[in-house]
C-alpha cells in the first residue's frame, strides 16, 4: 500500500461551483510555482487536501487542459504543461503586437473613471507584492494589462488577449523569479501607466516595448537555463500545493 501524501494546508472548499474553485486553486499553484512545469497533478492527493471527491478535481484538470495549463497523458494522468523558449517567443511577440496598439487606444479613450481603475489595479498589484503573495501578484499583474486592453474598446482585440490568459499567467509567474523584491514588479508598471496618462503615442509604444521587452529577454534567459530533464523528473514525483 502506497503511503499517503502529507497535507500542505489547502483550505476545504464549499459545495458551490466546485470545479471552478478547484481550477482556480490549481491555477494559483501553477502560476506561483508551487506546481512546477512537468509536475504531476495527483487527483487523489488534491481531493484529499480540499476535502472533496476526485470527480471535480478531474473535471478541473480537464478544464485547465483546455486552457493550455495542463496536458493529459493516457493512463498516467495530468501534468503541468512545460513552456518552451519557442513558446515564450511566440507569446511575447504576439503580446507586443496586442499591447502596443491597446495602450495607444486606451490612452485616446481614457476617462477619469478608467484612469482611476488603472491606478486601483496597480495599487492591487502593490498590495499583493507587499504580502509577497505570488499567486495574487500574477493575477493582479495580468488584470492590469487586461484592463488596458478593455479600455482600448476593441472587443476582438480583448478576446485575442484573453486567449493568451493561461500562458500569460505562467509567464508572469516566471517573471516573479527574477526579482528579489516583489514591489519592483509593481514599480515596473508605473512608466507604462504614466505614458498612457500623458497621451503621447510614441512614448506609450516605447514604454510598452521596454516593459514587455525586458521581461521577454530575461524570462527567455531563465527558460533556457532550465534543464529539459527537470520537467520530466518532476513527472515521477508528487509536487505539493500551498494554500
| C-alpha cell, 169 | 499567467
Instruction: Tell if the pTM clears 0.85, that is, is over it.
Output: no
Determine which helix (DSSP H) or strand (DSSP E) holds 2, and give its type and residue range. none
For residues 134 and 220, membership in a common domain is answered with: yes
Burial profile 85-119: b = 16 or more Cβ within 10 angstroms, e = fewer = eebbeebbeebbebbbbbbbbbbeeeeeebbeebe
Number of structural domains the chain divides into: 2
Domain of residue 142 covers 85-225
Domain CATH for 143: 1.20.120.530
Mark which of 59, 82, 105 sits at the end of a domain: 82
pLDDT tens, residue order, the chain (243 aa): 455 555 555 565 555 588 999 998 998 888 877 888 888 999 999 999 998 999 999 999 999 998 888 999 998 999 998 888 888 899 999 999 999 999 999 999 999 999 999 999 999 999 999 998 888 898 999 999 999 999 999 999 999 999 888 888 888 888 877 777 889 999 999 999 999 999 999 999 999 999 999 999 988 888 777 644 344 433 343 444 444
Quote the distance between the C-alpha of residue 7 and its chain's center: 25
Do residues 150 and 178 both lie within one domain? Answer: yes
Does 177 share its domain with 128? Answer: yes
Q: Are residues 146 and 101 in the same domain?
A: yes
Order the strands of the 40-41 sheet from edge to edge: 40-41, 77-80, 70-73
On whether residue 47 sits in a domain, the answer given is yes
- Kindly state whether residues 78 and 95 are assigned to the same domain: no
Q: How many helices (H) and strands (E) does the chain have?
A: 12, 3
Amino acid at each position: 500500500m502506497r503511503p499517503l501524501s502529507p497535507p500542505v494546508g489547502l483550505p476545504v472548499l464549499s459545495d458551490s461551483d466546485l470545479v471552478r474553485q478547484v481550477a482556480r486553486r490549481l491555477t494559483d499553484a501553477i502560476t506561483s510555482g508551487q506546481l512546477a512545469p512537468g509536475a504531476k497533478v495527483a487527483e487523489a492527493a488534491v481531493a484529499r487536501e480540499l476535502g472533496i471527491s476526485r470527480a471535480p478535481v478531474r473535471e478541473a484538470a480537464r478544464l485547465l487542459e483546455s486552457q493550455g495549463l495542463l496536458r493529459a497523458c493516457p493512463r498516467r494522468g495530468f501534468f503541468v504543461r512545460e513552456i518552451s523558449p519557442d513558446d515564450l517567443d511566440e507569446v511575447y511577440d504576439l503580446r507586443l503586437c496586442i499591447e502596443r496598439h491597446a495602450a495607444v487606444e486606451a490612452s485616446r479613450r481614457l476617462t477619469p473613471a478608467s484612469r482611476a481603475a488603472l491606478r486601483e489595479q496597480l495599487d492591487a498589484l502593490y498590495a499583493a507584492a507587499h504580502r509577497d503573495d505570488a499567486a495574487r501578484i500574477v493575477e493582479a499583474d495580468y488584470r492590469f494589462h487586461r484592463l488596458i486592453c478593455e479600455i482600448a474598446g476593441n472587443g476582438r482585440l480583448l478576446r485575442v488577449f484573453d486567449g493568451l490568459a493561461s500562458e500569460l499567467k505562467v509567464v508572469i509567474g516566471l517573471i516573479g523569479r527574477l526579482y528579489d523584491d516583489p514591489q519592483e514588479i509593481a514599480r515596473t508598471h508605473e512608466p507604462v501607466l504614466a505614458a498612457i496618462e500623458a497621451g503621447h503615442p510614441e512614448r506609450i509604444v516605447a514604454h510598452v516595448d521596454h516593459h514587455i521587452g525586458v521581461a521577454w529577454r530575461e524570462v527567455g534567459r531563465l527558460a533556457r537555463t532550465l534543464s529539459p530533464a527537470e520537467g520530466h523528473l518532476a513527472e515521477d514525483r508528487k509536487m505539493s500545493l500551498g494554500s
